[in-house]
Structure formats: C-alpha cells, structure tokens
A and B are shown apart, each in its own frame.
Chain A
Amino acid sequence: MNARPDLAVRVDNLERRFGDFVAVDRVSFEVATGEIFGFLGPNGAGKSTTIRMLTGLLSPTGGSGWVGGFDIRTQGESIKEIIGYMSQKFSLYEDLTVGQNLDFYGGIYRIPKEKKAARKTWALEMAGLLGREQSLARELAGGWRQRLALGAAILHEPRILFLDEPTSGVDPISRRNFWDLIRSLSRRGVTVFVTTHYMDEAEYCDRLALIYRGRMIALGTSDQLKRERMPDAVLEVAVDRPVDALDILPGVPGVREAALFGALLHVVVSDAATGAPAVRTALEAAGMTVERIEKIPPSLEDVFVSLIEAEDRTETPTAARGC
C-alpha cells in the first residue's frame, strides 16, 4: 500500500472523528491524474471535512491518504505546494483591485520574482479576467468574484485543484463560464476535485462519489449511477396542478417519491407498468387533467435523492435525517 504516481488522489479507509461524531467514516477512492472528480452529498455529509484532510488542513483520525504522491499525514507542506484550494468562503481583499489581489497571493505562494508577471498573466487568462485587472474586488458581481478566487488558487500552477462549492450562488451564465474554465484546466492535465449541489454540473464530471453521513454510498460515472444504482423507474408527469399533485402522490401505492422538475413532476415508482396507470387514476380522481405520463431515464438528481432515501430506510427508523 503506497503512493502510485498515476493517481492524483488516493484514500484508503480515511476516517475523521470529532469526539463521538464520525464526520468521515472509512472512505476509500482514487482519482486519476487529469480527472474531474465530483464529490457530492447533502450539507453536513462530510465533504468539506474530507477536502480539509486532503489539503493538509486537518489530520485524519484513521486510514491513510496520498495527494500527488505525498502522504497527507506526514507531508502536508509538500502537498500545499502542488495543490490549489478554493473554499466555500474564499477571502478576497475587497479594497484591492483584481491585479493587486493576485499580486498578494503571488507573495503568499512565494512565486519567484522573475516568474511573477508571467504567472499573473496566465492566471488572468485562465480565469477569464483579462481586462478586469483594475476593478476593485468589492465591485465584482458574484460570477467575477468566483473567477478571481479561482485565479488566486491557480497562480502557482497547481497540479491538483480542490474546489469546494465554487459556483454556489452564482447565476446560470457565470456557472457555465466557470465550468468552461474548469474544463480547460483539466485539459491541461490539472486534476480537479470539486463539490457541488448543482446536478447539471455534476454531469460534467468524469466520475462522481456520493457521500452521506460520512460514508461513501456510490461511486462511478454519471451513466453508471443512473443505470446501476436506480432500481426504481422514473415517470415524468405533465399535469395541470403539479403542486396539488405533490400532496396526493405519496399516498398512491407503488409511489416512492414525487418532486417538481420545473413545471413537470418526476414520480419515482417501483414498477412503471403498474405505477403509471395508478398515478393517472389518482390524479384524475382528484379532478386534475393529466396531459402526459412518460417513463424517462432518471436524472442525476433522481438517483441522488433515491440513494439517500434508500440509505435512510436501512438506517434505524428513529434516526432523523440531518438536513
């Protein structure tokens, strides 16, 4: 059991306890160099704790891990030199300009003087900030702030990038632009380890891990998870009063879950052949007009919620869900 150079990240039975509370519970996975690895899970599931261990900010209470070939227990300082880290609450200096913020981080990373200018230009370009050097950080809208934080995190050309909910609260266009940046970094061989609550973003990842209550409950490509980890069928239902339908559907036999997707409903049923007519009958009996019921491939959100609820059912029934 040792570091493997072709792996950017490897963890083996990684564990972190805080007193009696097990925040990360014997998690094992590997991330290949250049991969975009999505780390998903509800708030409080252990995602940030895992990232803090991988970035050398927090030591594990059990298991082992390597980042870029370095041991997270003993070689934290070496790890910090080869990684970039953008946390949920990144700090920018509000009264400094974009350029000054980057200069400041250049100092922190101890980038040699002769390389400073070139690195800064590179970071500005990679983060899509060219032309914004003179803007004050506090005048930047959400999407631009995020780019500046990314620029600061990549100044030292890290091989591995940890992004903890980088697009939280960012509008749809900025989110897309941000993912274009992630993609181009990945193409240059940078490994990207990213957490997100946006399931459309999760689809852009090469592989996904789903973590819940500290344990990893799924690992694979988006297609694999949809194919192999969703035993129930998903019906897309177009109905005239979708919100009212949400009240009725949980009582229909065979229905496991019902949720709104835009103006449509996704209804998870154990069997599509019997579920679809049962759903139609129940909604029509309540005086609704059902336009269409169609079995569809599950969305990643369907799979995500279904895996978590299956996990809840296997746990002690008295345990309340944490969020």
Chain B
Amino acid sequence: MTTGDLEPAKPAIETRDLTRRFGPVTAVDRLSLTIPRGELFGLVGPDGGGKTTTLRMLAGILGPTEGDALVAGHSIRTAPEAVKHRIAYMSQRFGLYGDLTVLENLLFYADLFEVPRRERAVRIERLLGFSNLTPFKDRLADKLSGGMKQKLGLACALIHTPEILLLDEPTNGVDPVSRRDFWRILYDMLKEGVTILVTTAYLDEAERCNRVGLMHRGRLLALDAPRRVKSLMAGDLVEILVTEAWRAREVLAGVVEAKGVTLFGRRLHVAVEDIARDLPAVQAALETAGLDPREARRIAPSLEDVFISVVEREGSAAHERAA
C-alpha cells in the first residue's frame, strides 16, 4: 500500500491492525489503511460490515481493542482529544437541536468548537451560502426537510474548518436534488485540501472517490481506485434491455452460461465467462421466453456489480467453510 509518489509529509489517516471486538463479535478485524492528505476515500460494504465502527474509532469516540490509528498525526489511543479537534465527524444521527433555528445551531457548534468570535460571521455566512440554507436560517431545525437537515448537519460539522472530514452515510434518505447540493459542498472542501472519508450505500457516490475500500465482516476485501477495483470481476459483463426484467432473471437462472444476473431497473446485467461464446445462448433463452432482448452490449462493470459479485462470492465461500 503506497500513499502516492509525492509522499506528502504525513498521511491524514494511518491505521495499523486496528481491531474492535464487541464480546464475541469482531466488528473491525486488523484494519491497516493509509489515507493521504487531500484524498476523497469511500468506505462501502454491507450493513454490519464494520464501517461505522471504523469511523467511530477514527473520530476518537470509541477505543480500539487492539492496534492503533494516527489521525492528523495523533494517536486515537493516547490523544483522542487532539484528534477530535482536527476532524469533523458527522454520524448517521448528527446531533442537531430541533428547537433551535438553523443559525442558532451553527452558533452553538461554533461555541462548542471554540471558533474565534471575529471569524464566526464570515464562516457562518459562507456555510449557509453553499448549503443553500441562507433563506432558512431562522427556521427551527425540526421544521427542516430530511435533505436540509443533512446539509445543516454538514455545515455544523464544518464550522471549525477541520483537516479531516469523517462522514457516516451522510446522504441516506436524501433526495437526488439535495444529494447533488451535498456533494457540491464536499467538492469545495476537497479543493481546500480537506481529506474526506465517507461511507455510503450509494455506489454511484463511491465511484467518485479517489479510492474505495470494500469492507465486509470487519475486513477490507478490496482497496483501490474504483476503476481498478472493477478488475476484480472476472469474465465479461453484458447489459441487455428486456421487456420484463424480473421474469428474464428467472429464465436465466436456468441458463448455465449466465454466471450472475443483476437487475438495474429494466436493464439486465449478465455476467458471462466469454461474451463471444456465451451471449448467443443467453439471448436465445430470452427470445424463446418472448422477452424481446435488445441492445445487448458489453459494459464495464459498475462498482455495484463488483460489490455484489465480491460480497456474494465471499458469502458463499464462508458458507462452504462453515459447512
């Protein structure tokens, strides 16, 4: 694992065998990960895979059972308070005060993080501006829609210009329009050199990251740039448009050439070993079933394809070991 050829002074985050157990469950299992400064890093994986536990440890909130991590150069074991001052952490339930207005919430967090008084007005104005919350600054936080709450949460987390931003599924339940606003804020942060570690259930968001880690059962199954992670998928992937995607999947369950079938709306992603050899059988089966397959084309797998394939492969391997 390298941190790039320029080797900046110190990585933003460096974990060594970071482990967290809860009773018999190992939530995070000897995680070693280096995130250089300025990187946008995405942590993805199934629910319960260890993403949130990792973030909570990096935020200095939860102590590790074994191993350590340096966050902005400070050990989460020995200097968690120093870590907290260099980072912003937005948990899935970020603590907004419902009976305070948007502006009052920002002022509260400015106090909490001891933002110098003379800097407050400028900073708050800027955060309100790029979160499009200026017209709502006097609205009670409880009266905000879900997307606006998330943006206010992010604005509060950013009030002290952190070096590192830890975001735990920040766009859950946020509609597509608000999601775009939210990501614009993150890009602005990146331009200022902030390092961002984000977990997300939206794999199209993960595709935008410099690197992604795929976490499952506490371990990293993959760690690389999104396009390199995709090389983990063997064989070819074909996209086919059909009239009834669900029925098509049932039909293809009986076709040996189709190694995996995933629905993306009306589009079918069919994994085959060799497109030239295997596609005719797939198409013939769909035609016989009257499903009118159209526009079959080879596609590069999306991160979601890879995610499903890797996690399912891992799942069945574990199953075999257990059996």
Q: Chain A residues in contact with chain B, CB under 8 A?
A: 41-44, 88, 141-143, 165, 168-176, 183, 197-200, 202-204, 222, 242-243, 246, 259-263, 300-301, 304-305, 308-309, 320-323
Contact A246 B187 (CB under 8 A): yes
Bound-state CA distance A130–B146 (Å) is: 34
Known: A172-B307, A243-B187, A246-B184. 17 other contacts (CB 8 A): A41-B175, A42-B145, A44-B148, A169-B92, A169-B201, A171-B47, A173-B308, A176-B308, A183-B246, A197-B174, A203-B264, A203-B266, A260-B204, A262-B203, A263-B226, A304-B176, A305-B180
A320 vs B246: C-alpha distance when bound (angstroms) = 41
Chain A residue with the shortest CB-CB distance to B92: A169
Asked if B265 and A42 sit within 8 Å, CB to CB, the answer is no
Number of A-B contacts (CB under 8 A): 124
Whether B4 is near chain A, meaning CB under 8 Å from some CB there, is: no
B residues at A contact (CB < 8 Å)? 45-49, 92, 132, 134-136, 144-148, 169, 172-180, 183-184, 187, 190, 201-204, 207-208, 226-227, 245-246, 262-266, 302-304, 307-308, 311-312
Docked complex Cα distance between A250 and B179 (Å): 18
B311 surroundings in chain A (CB, below 8 A): 173
What A residues does B45 contact at CB under 8 A?
171
Q: Are A172 and B172 neighbours in the complex by a CB distance under 8 Å?
A: no
A167 closest partner in B (C-beta): B201
- If A169-B169, A174-B47 touch, whether A243 touches B174 (CB-CB below 8 Å) is no
In contact, A172 and B147 (Cβ under 8 angstroms): no
The residues of A that contact B47 with a CB separation of less than 8 Å are 141-143, 170-171, 174
Task: Pick the residue among B135, B146, B304 that contacts A172 (CB under 8 A).
Answer: B304
Q: Could you list 24 A-B pairs, sorted by A, with CB under 8 Å?
A: A41-B175, A42-B175, A43-B145, A43-B175, A169-B92, A169-B173, A170-B47, A172-B203, A172-B308, A173-B308, A183-B246, A197-B173, A197-B174, A197-B175, A203-B266, A204-B263, A242-B208, A243-B187, A262-B208, A263-B208, A263-B227, A323-B145, A323-B147, A323-B175
Q: Given A171-B201, A308-B177, is A262 in contact with B303 using a C-beta cutoff of 8 Å?
A: yes
Question: Closest chain A residue to B181 by CB distance?
Answer: A323
Max count, chain B CB within 10 A of own CB: residue among A165, A171, A197, A263: A171
Distance (Å) between the CB of A101 and the closest chain B CB?
A: 18
Contacts of A260 in B (CB 8 A): 183, 204, 208
Cβ contacts under 8 Å, B176 to chain A: 197, 199, 301, 304-305
Give A172 to B47 CA distance when docked, in angstroms.
9
Beta-carbon contact of B190 and A243 below 8 Å: yes
The answer to whether A176 and B263 have CB atoms under 8 Å apart is yes
Decide yes or no: A42 and B177 within 8 Å by CB, A183-B246, A263-B207 being known contacts: yes
Q: How far is the CB of B262 from chain A (nearest CB, A)?
A: 7
CB of B178 within 8 A of CB of A141, answer no
Are B177 and A142 touching (Cβ within 8 A)?
A: no
Q: Which residues of A contact B265 (CB under 8 A)?
A: 200, 202-204, 222, 300
Max count, chain B CB within 10 A of own CB: residue among A175, A176, A202, A323: A323
Interchain CB contact (< 8 A) of B46 among A43, A143, A263, A309 = A143
A202 to B203, CA, bound (A): 16
How close is B33's CB to chain A, nearest CB, in angstroms?
20
Least Cβ distance of B117 to chain A in Å?
29
In the complex, the answer to whether B177 meets A323 with C-beta atoms within 8 Å is yes
Query: For residue B145, which residue of chain A has the nearest CB?
Result: A44
What are the residues of chain A within 8 A of B144 when measuring CB–CB?
44, 323
- Residues of A within 8 Å of B145, CB to CB, are 42-44, 322-323
Q: How far is the CB of B315 from chain A (nearest CB, A)?
A: 9
Nearest neighbor of A141 in chain B, beta-carbon distance: B48
| Docked CA distance A88–B145 (Å) | 14
B181 to chain A, nearest CB (A): 8
- Is there contact, CB below 8 Å, between B132 and A321? yes
Report the minimum CB–CB distance from B25 to chain A (whole Å).
9
Is the CB–CB distance between B246 and A43 below 8 Å?
no
From A199, which residue of chain B is reached at the shortest CB distance?
A: B176
- A323 to B146 CA separation, bound complex (whole angstroms): 8
B246 and A142 form a contact (CB under 8 A): no
Chain B residues contacting A197 (CB-CB under 8 Å) are 173-176, 179
How many angstroms from the CA of A222 to the CA of B176 in the assembled complex? 16
